[in-house]
Amino acid sequence: MTPWIVMATIVGYFVLLFLVSLMASRKSDNASFFTGNRQAPWPIVAFATIGAAISGVTFISVPGMVVAKSYSYLQMVLGFVVGYLVIAFVLVPLFYKRNLISIYGYLEQRFGGSTYVTGAWFFFISKMLGAAVRFFVVCVVLQTLVFSPLGIPFVFNVIVTIALIWLYTMQGGVKTVIWTDTLKTFCLIASVVLCIYFIAKGLGYDFSGLCKAVTSDSHSRIFFFDDPNSGLYFWKQFIAGIFMVVAMTGLDQDMMQRNLACKNSKESQKNMIVASISQVFVITLFLVLGTLLMLYYTKNIGTTFPKKPDDLFGLVAADKTMPIIVGILFILGLISAAYSAAGSALTSLTTSFTVDILKANEKQDDAHLTKTRKKVHVIMSVIMGLVIIVFYLLSSDSAITMVYAIASYTYGPILGLFCFGLACKKPVRDKLVPIVCVAAPIICFGVKWLLDNYTSYQMSFELLLLNALVTCLGLAILIRPKEEKL
């Protein structure tokens, strides 16, 4: 697959993306940027939400995950379904009732200004780092396939792609994100289904042969009940899936901004339920693709899998024995996942920074708010580009892993704040809440280090729950008598 074919695929997708964003952003204003005027049809939001949860890293990693972890990821995905129900019937009515632009406005109403700003900053840091890392991984793939062979430096690659993402999200905001996520979901599902078809055909399988090959493969195991100490143990994965989706979707401005664009809470609930069930089938497709990639790799490329399982999809797609269409579909799925996710992140970061940290919507009229929002949008784009370039200069797997860990730690305090706020109605000493939120991840890091070094227990995603629990305990200590003045 030549660089020019990859470039043509990217250009073709961007042309389509700009056409969709142009139509979606007509007659846009601040309300459509922040909330989509709360007029988005729920079936469209539901379809868009399926793809919204899938980044470029997910597109590469989930099929490769089958090599080492079989289909264990489905255990967590089943937990996601329960988590989406919690979001739909607990958080969505709460956010609509309070008519929030940013979901972190709840923290100000419940606790006070210090807690509100703390939650907003935790979101800002985690989303900026997480989005930058995910986009960095995709930029590296595209640099290898396209830009390096053409003599184009990595910095130019980042500047151009960030500029394009800024351009198509600049005007329409969340209204544009919903429709571009719809395009993204279609491209993702189509690329995965067609890749399954062409790879199965290359292996000589018809539909029944495909089903038999997948179900009989040793890597198609889903449930793991045998070892409670293992990170793959069912109840660890399932329970963690519930809280992960509550924290990383229900308490994430990026994910909830599109869900709050529905007309009312009932329609938003329909969207959440349909999207959660649909996601199980989509993730299953990715895992089936992973099995086929393994079978094709061992038959046509080599007997030893690549050291990095994430490389499996790209190696098979680019192999000379594979039809060129598979390589094009791989690039199409990758860029649709990566660029839409980055655009969504920029929109949510702009909203949160403008509303939560600057509070420009309370201090400025509509004309000045528009100018502030556009300036913030540019600044968020520049910061994301700089963070990606820093990752590239560090070019260290340990650095990337560390950033992912930091980003996951930051959701724990946010989850703890909302859980405590909903479960306990007593007031707390608002000005001391930032100390608790900073201390909780530090304490959890120490606990994980002790377990890793002195026990056989593998702490997995339950770290998020511990983080939230420590935050709740800290808030309980900060409960103040009603007669005590702030």
The stretch 83-109 carries a mean pLDDT of 87
The tokens 């940013």 sit on which residue?
102
Distance CA 453, CA 99 (A): 47
Q: For the residues of 406-441, what is the DSSP string, one character each?
A: HHHHHHHHHHHHHHHHHH----B-GGGHHHHHHHHH
Distance CA 12, CA 143 (A): 18
- Per DSSP, 323 falls in state -
CB environment 104-124: b (16+ within 10 A), e (fewer): bbbbbebbbebbbbbbbbbbb
The tokens 């401005």 sit on which residue?
253
Tokens encoding 449: 């280090």
- Using DSSP's 3-state secondary structure scheme, residue 26 falls into coil
State the amino acid at position 45 in one-letter form.
V
The stretch 422-430 carries a mean pLDDT of 90
CB environment 246-285: b (16+ within 10 A), e (fewer): bbbbbbbbbbbbbbbbbeebebbbbbbbbbbebbeebbeb
Most trustworthy range by pLDDT among 360-364, 404-408, 445-449, 482-486: 445-449
**What integer pLDDT is reported at residue 36 of this predicted model?**
54
Reported as a pLDDT band with limits 50, 70 and 90, residue 398 is very low
Q: Is the pLDDT of residue 62 over 80?
A: yes
- Of residues 55 and 449, the one with the higher pLDDT is 449
- Of residues 476 and 262, the one with the higher pLDDT is 476
| CA Rg value for the chain | 22
Q: Is the pLDDT of residue 472 over 90?
A: yes
Domain boundaries, the chain: 3-411
What does pLDDT average to over the chain? 82
Let me know: does 42 contact 272? Beta carbons within 8 Å: no
What are the tens digits of pLDDT across the range 217-272? 888 888 988 888 777 888 888 988 888 888 878 887 777 877 777 788 888 888 88
**What integer pLDDT is reported at residue 246 of this predicted model?**
87
Q: Is the pLDDT of residue 21 over 90?
A: no
Q: Is the pLDDT of residue 29 over 70?
A: no
* H or E stretch covering 327: helix 324-352
Q: How many CB atoms lie within 10 A of CB 208?
A: 8
> Please, which residues bridge with residue 479 across strands?
428
Of the candidates 291, 284, 282, the one whose C-alpha atom is nearest the C-alpha of residue 203 is 291
State the amino acid at position 191 in one-letter form.
S
- Per DSSP, 71 falls in state T
Q: Is the pLDDT of residue 172 over 60?
A: no
Reported as a pLDDT band with limits 50, 70 and 90, residue 446 is very high
- Of residues 326 and 343, the one with the higher pLDDT is 326
What are the tens digits of pLDDT across the range 349-370? 888 888 888 888 788 887 888 8
- Of residues 483 and 295, the one with the higher pLDDT is 295
The stretch 190-219 carries a mean pLDDT of 89
- Of residues 475 and 168, the one with the higher pLDDT is 475
The tokens 């056989």 sit on which residue?
456
- Per DSSP, 219 falls in state G
Tokens encoding 32: 């459509």
The stretch 309-317 carries a mean pLDDT of 80
Q: Is the pLDDT of residue 485 over 70?
A: no
**What integer pLDDT is reported at residue 95 of this predicted model?**
87
CATH of 3-411, one of 1.20.1730.10, 1.10.3720.10, 3.30.360.10, 3.40.50.620: 1.20.1730.10
- Of residues 264 and 55, the one with the higher pLDDT is 264
Whole-number Cα distances in Å, 1 to 61, 273, 317, 322, 330: 21, 40, 9, 10, 11
State the amino acid at position 409 in one-letter form.
Y
Let me know: does 427 contact 482? Beta carbons within 8 Å: yes
Most trustworthy range by pLDDT among 8-22, 127-141, 175-189, 425-439: 425-439
- Per DSSP, 479 falls in state B
What pTM does this model have?
A: 0.77
Let me know: does 53 contact 274? Beta carbons within 8 Å: no
**What integer pLDDT is reported at residue 83 of this predicted model?**
92
Least confident piece of the model among 443-447, 450-454, 468-472: 450-454
Q: Is the pLDDT of residue 27 over 90?
A: no
The stretch 420-434 carries a mean pLDDT of 91
| Residues whose CB falls within 8 Å of the CB of residue 174, separated by 6 or more in sequence, listed in order | 32, 33, 34, 35, 36, 257, 258, 261, 347, 351
pLDDT > 90 in the chain, percent? 15
CB environment 433-442: b (16+ within 10 A), e (fewer): bbebbeebbe
- Of residues 475 and 334, the one with the higher pLDDT is 475
Distance CA 179, CA 413 (A): 32
**What integer pLDDT is reported at residue 19 of this predicted model?**
80
Dihedrals phi, psi of 262, to nearest 5 degrees: -70, 165
Reported as a pLDDT band with limits 50, 70 and 90, residue 202 is confident
The stretch 193-219 carries a mean pLDDT of 90
Distance CA 460, CA 457 (A): 9
- Of residues 486 and 468, the one with the higher pLDDT is 468
Reported as a pLDDT band with limits 50, 70 and 90, residue 470 is very high
State the amino acid at position 100 in one-letter form.
L
The stretch 391-405 carries a mean pLDDT of 61
* Cα dihedral: 139, 144, 148, 152 (round 10): -10
**What integer pLDDT is reported at residue 442 of this predicted model?**
93
pLDDT > 70 in the chain, percent? 89
Let me know: does 300 contact 287? Beta carbons within 8 Å: no
